[in-house]
Amino acid sequence: MTRVRLLVAYDGTDFHGFAMNPAVRTVAGELSALLARLVRHHVEVECAGRTDAGVHAWGQVVAFHTTSDVDSQRLQRALIGQLAPEIVVREVAVVDDTFDPRRHATSRAYRYTVRNAAVPDPFTDRYSWWVREPLDVAAMNAAAAHFVGEHDFASFCRRGPEGSTTVRRILDAAWNQVDDVTLHFDIAGTAFCWQMVRSIVGTLVDVGRGKHRADEVPRMLTALDRNAAGAIAPPRGLCLRAVTY
């Protein structure tokens, strides 16, 4: 058996998330179906982090086993030729048989894009959240600083399986004003709960709108109640930027 690692980018707009689901179109479904045809046997793909419907990726890491000989460049060309531009395999490499894209990851970095302008832009709408009201970026950064470190993020996650933990460590979280109308929120952590980044973004945008104060974030964290935090930001502004090993 050969273990193959893919570095994958995709536009998540028209996919029902990454994970396999025979009932709907997913990134894993498209990848595994094409890989099966190329290597001529069933393929099960694993990823560094499942993304929800409408969420994008630039640095998703995927791995699979195959009994076929692998020519990395040839395989990459075949994948790009049939999947691009929705899914682009940026790199292909043969790796150690024990490589696990999820468990071996030490951190993950996400970026959320907000268009803060009086009118929307049809050319960026697939990849950003249009917010009409002026935002206080300084207040949003003051609020974001409270998320750095290890906390229980129960107030910012959808409930997971019984017995699962919502304690996570955030390494960095900050807003950057890219131009007059574009804001990037970059956040990195060792791991994230389901919808955690979008919940954090929704709360921080509420701070920017003046609906909450920056110093309210610690209270939201200690509440351990999803109702204590802000609404969930739309999926289209979120992108999995990179995974570190």
Whole-angstrom distance, CA of residue 245 vs CA of residue 240: 15
Annotated catalytic residue within 14, 52, 136, 206: 52
DSSP the chain: -EEEEEEEEE--TTSS-SS--TTS--HHHHHHHHHHHHHTS----EESS---TT-EEEEEEEEEEESS---HHHHHHHHHHHHTTTEEEEEEEEE-TT--TTTT--EEEEEEEEEESSS--TTTGGGSEEE-S---HHHHHHHHGGGSEEEE-GGGS---STT---EEEEEEEEEEE-SSSEEEEEEEES---TTHHHHHHHHHHHHHHTSS-GGGHHHHHHHT-GGGS-PPPPGGGEEEEEEE-
Is 71 annotated in the active site? no
Q: Catalytic residue positions?
A: 52
